[in-house]
A and B are shown apart, each in its own frame.
Chain A
Amino acid sequence: MEPYHMNLNLKVWRQKNCKTKGEFKLYRVENISSEMSFLEMFDVLNEQLIRDGDDPITFDHDCREGICGACSMYINGKPHGPWQANTTCQLHMRAFNDGDTVVVEPWRADAFPVIKDLMVDRTAFDRIIQAGGFISVNTGNAVDGNSLPIAKDTADTSFAAAMCIGCGACVAACKNSSAMLFLSAKVSHLALLPQGGPERKSRVINMVAQMDKEGFGACTNTGACEATCPKEISLTNIARLNKEYLFASITAGR
């Protein structure tokens, strides 16, 4: 594909902080290369804003190579923009044409309050992980990784779930603002491996409780999360989480 240049109209959500009301503002960027990433286009816009003495647009970003889960823009009605299995930082401007109007919004969920502009507070995810998304190990020498035999397809399924980068696109896409795809990926990842066995029941019970406490909605299996997930986390993880929860709630406790 030959590189080309474009002029774009941007409709971007601006909000000072979580206490003030936000609004959309219109911006125009010119001579944008099709080889730029979406965030680089935003860098160009921010430099323009700084030159004009305006407040630059705040947005989350870190690795810019699609593995950290920091970027979080809702672009033209889809988390992470129009491409499949893709993060905002890996979205390139060749996805757009000259003269397009692009609407950019923050993740919308009460559990993800806006910090400023396009940046939202996703520490709810951290607290869900703290509630049980780990394994407890005693200190000492690291155990030889090959000392525990694990079937190849089980390991593959677990790793596929472990691909989740915790970006929150599933919550942003869900009509119920449910965090079930995220939670189910974290629970599945550990429940499938022998190392996750000892805390299997308490993990799922505590993590679901924390998710509810954080104010995420309930899952209705619409599949919007799976369709937008940059890491293609499967909806079957949610069914597995349901099974884990059902089993744990029937058998756990005193």
Chain B
Amino acid sequence: MTWKQVFTSSVGKKLVMGLTGIFLILFLMVHAGLNACIWAGDGGEMFNKGAHFMGNNWVPRILELGLFAGILLHIIQGFLLTVENRKKRTIGYEVSYNEGSKWYSRSMGLLGTLILLFLVLHLSHFWLPNRSNQGFLLGEEINLYKKMKLEFSVLWVVIVYVVGCISLGYHLAHGFQSAFRTLGVHNRRYNTMLISLGYGFAIIISLLFALMPVSFYLGWVE
């Protein structure tokens, strides 16, 4: 069989979702870890150093290309799968079956869309102005800590970020364990472990990210 056959089969398409999903999970860990430096209590010095490294060293810049490729693949494939899967039942049920599965497992497309909308706002707040001001374009490097403080002084922005984080949390609550199932982890003891790990990861990551705008808004960090 050809690689095309593999990756256009229903199982192969899910494999792409799972692999890119796990890659994005790894990215979230790095992102959350680095951003947690805002709580260092040094007025953003450590955080800005980290941000400078991520923006100016060629290793994270190359990895960033991979990240965008991964995100795009995850979004496009996810969108196509959702549309295709919907088409498989032209006439729906009068009474729908909701007991057997969690609502967030059934709503990965919706949660993904919410995260995407949040991402557009998020990238336009930080990534875009930051990258366009680095060296080659509009002059001076942005003080990202100050930028965070500025953006997160607006209530609606904070609310949108918190909603984005909640969507991410539920997306991960299903996605984390589902990705490993898709990769073929079928042993019961590993699955049990991965489900707990997935819930833990989803809660910690979304809470950590949501606390960042909240911390600035409520003045927990100076």
* Interface, chain A (partner B; CB < 8 A): 11, 24, 74, 76-79, 103, 105, 108-111, 173, 175-178, 180, 205, 208-209, 211-212, 215-228, 235-247, 249, 252-253
Contacts and interface: CB of A to CB of B under 8 A. Distances in A.
B1 interface: yes
A224 B93 CA distance: 15
Interface in B164-198: 174, 177-178, 181-188, 191
B15 A242 contact: yes
Contacts of A222: 100-102, 105-106, 174
A205 B1 contact: yes
A154 B213 CA distance: 52
A212 B181 contact: no
B90 interface: yes
A111 B174 CA distance: 27
Nearest to A179: B10
Give the bracket for the number of chain B residues in contact with chain A. Answer: 35 or more
Nearest to B95: A77
B97 A228 contact: yes
B191 A103 contact: no
B85 interface: yes
Given A222-B101, A238-B181, A239-B184, A108 B14 contact: no
Nearest 8 A/B pairs, CB to CB: A243-B184, A227-B100, A77-B95, A239-B186, A176-B85, A222-B101, A224-B100, A218-B10
Contacts of A176: 85-86, 88
A236 B186 contact: yes
A249 B10 CA distance: 13
A218 B99 contact: no
Nearest to B98: A77
Interface in B41-76: none
Given A220-B178, A227-B99, A108 B89 contact: yes
Nearest to B109: A220
B183 A242 contact: yes
A238 B93 CA distance: 25
B96 A249 contact: no
B9 interface: yes
B101 A239 contact: no
A222 B91 CA distance: 21
Given A236-B186, A242-B15, A78 B88 contact: no
Contacts of B99: 78, 227
A244 B182 CA distance: 11
B204 interface: no
A1 B76 CA distance: 55
Nearest to A242: B184
Contacts of B181: 221, 235, 238-239, 242
Given A78-B99, A227-B99, A245-B11, A220 B108 contact: yes
Contacts of B177: 221
A241 B11 contact: yes
Contacts of A249: 1, 5-6, 12
